Structure 1
Amino acid sequence: MTSYDALLLISFGGPEGPDDVIPFLQNVTRGRDIPRERLEEVGEHYYLFGGVSPINRLCRELKAAIEADLAAHGVDVPVYWGNRHWTPYLADTVRRMKDDGIRRAAAFVTSAYSGYSTNDQYLEDIARAREEVPGAPEIDKLPVYWDRPGFLDPFTDAAISALRELPDDARLVFTAHSVPLAQPNREAYVAELEEAARRVAAKAAPGRPWDLVYQSRSGPPSQPWLEPQITDHLDALHAAGVRAVAAVPIGFVSDHMEVKFDLDVEAADRAAELGMAFARAGTPGSDPRFAALARELLTEQPPTERGNA
């Protein structure tokens, strides 16, 4: 059982129609003085998909899978959902939880790793949302879960499936969101990504060479970020004689826009230009094993040190 009386699913959020795209991007970049023209340029990525990011639909599916898993295991707690940058906004969800009488909730975020943008910023989001709601419930962020089977096993199966689409000498290339080199806790983020990739590669294709690269860079060219970027790495692999690549988005929990555009469009197009075979592995999404992970973290004895807000 659990000492919590609710589970709160927290995600990034995304537009659900063309009219949402620019307001969403303004939310994401607020305070960073990003020119309107740049927002419109990024907005074109969303318009390729009808102005809709898959992320909210994927969160609904994950929420439903978690609810089904909790019910199947006799864990009687409601599941709420709030976003950082789009509806349902986190503060609105916290307000509803307070009105429903929730006193103490655990937060399961759609980010598996340590680091500032992948962990610490969610703690800030929780604290800010609670400040907006007098009498808000206590909310404990559950631990990072990059090393848990419920996260890694779906990636292993997806990597095996992607490799089956390619020649026997295909290269495994793991991808994750790039971050600035100056970002706090970058070292922990990279170390966890490397170990997660190593574990998946060891099970999916023992002995096969693999690489960890990055994608979705958004900062100015003058600011150093984690490299190499996936498209640059494809160029280097092609020059080295690699004929096929299986991309595994190990840094992401679902097939949201940065996976659908940066890998399924940009990286796939670059591979095609180079004459390389390319396949992209799926993400955990609403896989029952991933949904079960939320329950496992919820019901385990709380760690001695937990990220609280």
Structure 2
Amino acid sequence: MGYDAVLLLSFGGPERPEDVLPFLQNVTRGRRVPPERLAEVAEHYQHFGGVSPINDQCRALLAAMRAEFDRHQLDTPVYWGNRNWHPMLADTLAQARDDGVESAVAFVTSPYGSYSSCRQYLEDIAAARAAVGPRAPVVHKLRHYHDHPGLVEPFADGVRQALASLAPAPREATRLVFTAHSIPVEMAECAGPEGGRYEAQLAETAALVAAAAAPDLPYDLVWQSRSGPPQVPWLEPDINDHLGTLAEQGVGAVAVSPIGFISDHLEVMWDLDTEAADTAKQLGLEYARAATPGTDPRFVAMIRELVQERMVPEGDHPARRMGTLPVWDTCLSHCCQSRSAPRG
């Protein structure tokens, strides 16, 4: 089908101290997150003045997308809506409706499949369309892009730069560590028709980035930013625990690449640049954090390619991929369902 617009769909974040608690309540609604954990995360935001960097990052990405589209004579309008904070998705779709948009493709700022990183966005789209009413634009989410060169190559450059910033050390004493947001184990096991899609995609991204940036270095995939009830098992090990294990193994220098995030979200700034960096210092580990893609021209070009891949006749813009895991344009109705998913 033809599409009238492109939608940048993201997580959202507070832009004033007074926004922090309402934003976190939106994020955690139905998840039974302990109040003390909510207060702890709120302090993380207040540490940065009550402002998340993600909205400014989306504004920069939106501008870069518009410039990239213009360079390639793709005159489709571009809109931006969020899951958890303004501009809220329903408001964006109402504006698009008023502008005469009938259908749009959505680029989601998560490359991977799981309930929270894929299925929940589909639910957000459905809820926003219901709120807008019968004339709400039809919105189709673009495919996963965890193995696209436009994602892998910027991450690989970030790893090279991080390694170059470390003091010279024997390669056997240097470790590359990839991180992503932890999720409940039960949710991870249900991610995708075959199960385990989230971990499998992240493992493939880690392997592709490591092969491009540091093929002679050992690497690990670990987790960060855990939340939720303590009795519910989540993916482990946590980055801080893993740094302790590496120190015990005689590793002296660590480069950390947050492949679960396309830009420097608050989770990157707090969990890696603050907490993990402090842990490494206490352990005597030299520590460097690799950059995320952000508005790297290759990443922005990837978004344009994904849009053209969906919009133009089949075969004119074939999918560019570096991995072997299957991807698809339309998720099955039961894909990434989870008993750990929020309710209500």
TM-score by length of 2: 0.86
In structure 2, the partner of 1:266 is 275
Q: Could you list the runs of 4 or more consecutive aligned residues of structure 1 that deviate by over 3 angstroms after TM superposition?
A: 32-38, 301-305
In structure 1, the partner of 2:306 is 297
Q: Are 2:167 and 1:164 equivalent residues in the alignment?
A: no
User: What does 1:243-258 align with in structure 2 at a 5 Å threshold?
Assistant: 243-258=252-267
Cα distance per residue 1:83-108 (max 9 Å; x no partner): 00000000110111101000110000
SS of alignment partner, residue 64 of structure 1: helix
Which whole-Å CA distance do the structure 2 matches of 1:246 and 1:127 have between them? 40
- CA shift at 1:301, angstroms? 4.2
Q: Which moved more, 1:50-59 or 1:218-227?
A: 218-227
One-letter code of the match for 2:155?
F
- CA shift at 1:6, angstroms? 0.6
1:308 to 1:284, Cα distance in 2 relative to 1, 3 A: farther
In structure 2, the partner of 1:101 is 100
In structure 2, the partner of 1:223 is 232
Retained in 1: the 8 A contact 2:34–2:229?
no
In structure 1, the partner of 2:337 is none
- CA shift at 1:136, angstroms? 0.5
From 200, 203, 206, the counterpart of 1:194: 203
- CA shift at 1:286, angstroms? 1.1
1:103 to 1:234, Cα distance in 2 relative to 1, 3 A: same
1:131 to 1:181, Cα distance in 2 relative to 1, 3 A: same
Retained in 2: the 8 A contact 1:139–1:308?
no
In structure 2, the partner of 1:176 is 180
Which whole-Å CA distance do the structure 2 matches of 1:32 and 1:267 have between them? 26
Retained in 2: the 8 A contact 1:140–1:308?
no
Retained in 1: the 8 A contact 2:264–2:292?
yes
Retained in 1: the 8 A contact 2:179–2:224?
yes
Which whole-Å CA distance do the structure 2 matches of 1:141 and 1:24 have between them? 24
In structure 2, the partner of 1:76 is 75
One-letter code of the match for 2:146?
W
Which whole-Å CA distance do the structure 1 matches of 2:332 and 2:87 have between them? 22
In structure 2, the partner of 1:284 is 293
Q: Which moved more, 1:62-71 or 1:114-123?
A: 114-123
Cα distance per residue 1:200-243 (max 9 Å; x no partner): 10110112100000000002221111110000000000000000
One-letter code of the match for 1:294?
I
Identity of aligned residues (%): 58
- CA shift at 1:288, angstroms? 1.2
TM-score by length of 1: 0.96
SS of alignment partner, residue 102 of structure 1: coil
- CA shift at 1:300, angstroms? 1.0
In structure 2, the partner of 1:32 is 31
From 305, 318, 330, the counterpart of 1:306: 330
Retained in 2: the 8 A contact 1:141–1:308?
no
- CA shift at 1:307, angstroms? 3.8
Q: Are 2:155 and 1:155 equivalent residues in the alignment?
A: yes
SS of alignment partner, residue 261 of structure 1: helix
In angstroms, what is the RMSD of aligned CA positions? 1.6
SS of alignment partner, residue 132 of structure 1: helix
One-letter code of the match for 1:38?
R
- CA shift at 1:3, angstroms? 2.8
User: What does 1:16-55 align with in structure 2 at a 5 Å threshold?
Assistant: 16-55=15-54
User: What does 1:138-149 align with in structure 2 at a 5 Å threshold?
Assistant: 138-149=138-149
- CA shift at 1:115, angstroms? 1.5
One-letter code of the match for 1:306?
T
